[in-house]
Chain A
């Protein structure tokens, strides 16, 4: 079992350094939930709600947004260049050292 280190900055600016497993078919949204960070994940990971939107702070290459993710981010609020949907980012070795920040919650 291989874990990677990820830093998640919550909406109050607090840094959470967490360990995420690469062998459990988990994604970034699920890692946030497993550490009880305030990610609602309303749709449960279908890229349909954008409540797991985050900004990628470190310069990791996470690849292109997939179609579903891109379409959802067109509709979402507070979207920036570095916006991603946590539910569409699988945890892999390449994510070691990743730093993300949770996007504000839409009303």
Chain B
């Protein structure tokens, strides 16, 4: 095997709630996990689409914000030291003779794994790109559709376009990092959490963000990389303006696509992967499982809580596949505690057995 390949027991495609919880259940079985996600941060839809919206049907949580659920899951799986390949889309899969798999991402990162768990939700989120001819040339050369590492923009001149939560939140964040932040939107109205909208207003008032609305970016210029953008004010004069900048970040939302997984030879029905729900959520290819919103079977419900259940059963099956000769019975965490791969141990406090008498 190549040296620089990431190796793991279970490769989880999709770092949404179902994928994250898989790490915990696998960890209890001493199986190591690595996750791939097309988004720049874990949490899937919960982080990307509705982090500040409440969920009411997570057992034991009368109400939890989607973003907090992700934070909690990340904390819960921390002892099991999952690896992450973020901002890359799982592209190709190859089954080796020994039954293991090599999964390669859109950026060429290779992962060697014993079991594949597709927890891809609706598919990978593809950014909506602005209709500007030849814009591809600037991708990764100053043009980005999502922000992976905000430090890249330190002391840079940044133009952000968009009118939703991510445009607002990144404008707020980068106002303190970049030397110049210009926020461009086609309309004067923004749609986001109230506190984000108010924060941006404050930063605009304090001249830490330059707000240009209604306006749109018509073109990107630069030799090798982004050097400026051409902006059109959507007022009566349709005035044009060139804004010099180091980075252009259009945040126009993300559209999910099942993507390359659709070509992996898996049985697909109505945009979802068919699995065996009578047993272990395995697909038609042994060793590849599909859990959470991405799968389908009679009576399927796309609920986070159902994804958690599917992940749990799937891990038991994965264990059997990886260790066909080992015997194992499920153990309650209250009984067995949780032994992290990082050496930490959580366990229930022992009850005392002590006489209580009269003096």
Contacts and interface: CB of A to CB of B under 8 A. Distances in A.
Interface of A: 40, 42-44, 46, 48-49, 67-68, 71-72, 74-75, 106
B255 to A, nearest CB: 8
B186 A74 contact: yes
Contact of B163 (A42, A68, A75): A75
Contacts of A48: 49-50, 253
B256 A42 contact: yes
Contact of A71 (B189, B252, B255): B189
Nearest to B186: A74
B49 A46 contact: yes
11 contacts: A40-B271, A42-B122, A43-B45, A46-B50, A67-B191, A68-B191, A71-B189, A71-B191, A74-B186, A75-B163, A75-B253
Interface of B: 45, 49-50, 53, 122, 163-164, 186-187, 189, 191, 252-253, 255-256, 271, 302
Given A42-B122, A42-B256, A74 B187 contact: yes
Given A40-B271, A42-B122, A42-B255, 5 more contacts: A46-B49, A49-B255, A71-B163, A74-B186, A106-B255
Nearest to B53: A46
Majority secondary structure of chain B interface residues (helix, strand, loop or mixed): loop
A75 to B, nearest CB: 7
A43 B187 contact: no
A-B pairs with the 4 shortest C-beta distances?
Answer: A71-B191, A48-B49, A42-B122, A42-B256
Contacts of B186: 74
Contact of A43 (B49, B163, B189, B191): B49
Contacts of A75: 163-164, 252-253
Nearest to A67: B191
A46 B164 CA distance: 14
B165 to A, nearest CB: 10
Nearest to B271: A40
A44 B163 CA distance: 21
